[in-house]
């Protein structure tokens, strides 16, 4: 489904480095990306979404997103992005945030119910808790009916009970919508529950490891 071969110079946690990724992603994969802070994880997702520039090639279902002297803009990539800081529109209600992406009222109502936030649909997002905001952000990303879902530590600000609950919802939505998902995480139990593949970034270099190595790699992350 997706071929990614990109490079980008970065200033990481240990100084100047080159983010170098050469991977293939199959349809339906749920990939968890781990690694120390400043290794380039968030930048990689932003490159994939079209939010940052890079050198190389990204090909999705035989369509060139990056390369051959062209770049497909973010709005033309069927990507849903859940940002670590939610990135909600503060001047809108919960439901308005969803409908801003797609005017499909039926889909918005369905996602609000699935996320168990239908009772706060008319509230301004500035009045919500962190867990509520995270569920709004996830629902908004799904309003695109994306084939590719990117999530940057979507559960990091939540309490353990809410993390477990939303983790279960994410897995169910991944399967129901037939998505391919890439998620940054530092939580080994979260990765074990969700991942079909494990990637680890070390000083800008992306490597794949078997899930059986999660405990060992987590000590390094």
Residue 182's closest CA among 6, 28, 8, 7? 28
Task: Give the pLDDT confidence score for residue 220 in this predicted structure.
Answer: 53
Task: Give the pLDDT confidence score for residue 12 in this predicted structure.
Answer: 63
Between residues 214 and 133, which one has the greater pLDDT?
Answer: 133
Q: Can you list the positions of beta strands (E) in 153-204?
A: 180-184, 197-202
Task: Give the pLDDT confidence score for residue 180 in this predicted structure.
Answer: 97
Task: Give the pLDDT confidence score for residue 34 in this predicted structure.
Answer: 93
Per-residue pLDDT tens for 138-172?
Answer: 999 999 889 999 999 988 767 788 788 888 888 98
Cα–Cα dist 130/9, whole Å: 33
Task: Give the pLDDT confidence score for residue 154 in this predicted structure.
Answer: 87
In sequence order, the 6+-apart residues with CB closer than 8 A to the CB of 8 are 18, 19, 40, 43, 47, 52, 53, 54, 55
Stretch 24-37: mean pLDDT: 94
Per-residue pLDDT tens for 33-92?
Answer: 998 888 899 999 999 999 999 999 999 999 999 997 888 998 899 999 998 888 899 999
As a whole number of Å, the end-to-end CA separation of the chain is 28
Fold of 2-78+146-220: Rossmann fold (3.40.50)
Per-residue pLDDT tens for 180-197?
Answer: 999 999 888 888 889 999
Cα–Cα dist 54/46, whole Å: 10
Buried b (16+ CB within 10 A) or exposed e, 130-143: ebbbbbbbbbbbbb
- Domain locations along the chain: 2-78+146-220, 87-145
Task: Give the pLDDT confidence score for residue 117 in this predicted structure.
Answer: 94
């Amino acid at each position: 489904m997706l071929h990614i071969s990109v490079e980008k110079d970065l200033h990481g946690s240990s100084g100047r480095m080159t983010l170098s990724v050469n991977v293939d992603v199959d349809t339906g994969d749920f990939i968890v990306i781990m690694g120390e802070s400043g290794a380039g994880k968030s930048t990689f997702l932003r490159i994939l979404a079209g939010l940052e520039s890079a050198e190389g090639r990204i090909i999705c279902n035989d369509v060139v997103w990056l390369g051959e002297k062209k770049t497909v803009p973010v709005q033309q990539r069927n990507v849903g992005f859940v940002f670590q800081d939610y990135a909600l529109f503060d001047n809108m209600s919960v439901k308005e945030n969803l409908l801003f992406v797609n005017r499909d009222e039926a889909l918005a109502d369905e996602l609000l119910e699935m996320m168990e936030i239908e009772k706060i649909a008319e509230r301004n997002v500035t009045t919500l808790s962190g867990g509520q905001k995270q569920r709004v952000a996830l629902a908004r990303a799904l309003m695109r009916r994306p084939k590719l879902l990117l999530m940057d530590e979507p559960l990091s600000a939540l309490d353990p009970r809410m993390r477990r609950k939303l983790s279960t919802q994410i897995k169910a939505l991944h399967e129901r919508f037939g998505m391919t998902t890439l998620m940054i995480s530092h939580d080994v139990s979260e990765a074990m529950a969700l991942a079909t593949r494990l990637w680890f970034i070390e000083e800008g270099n992306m490597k794949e490891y078997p899930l059986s190595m999660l405990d060992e790699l987590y000590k390094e992350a």
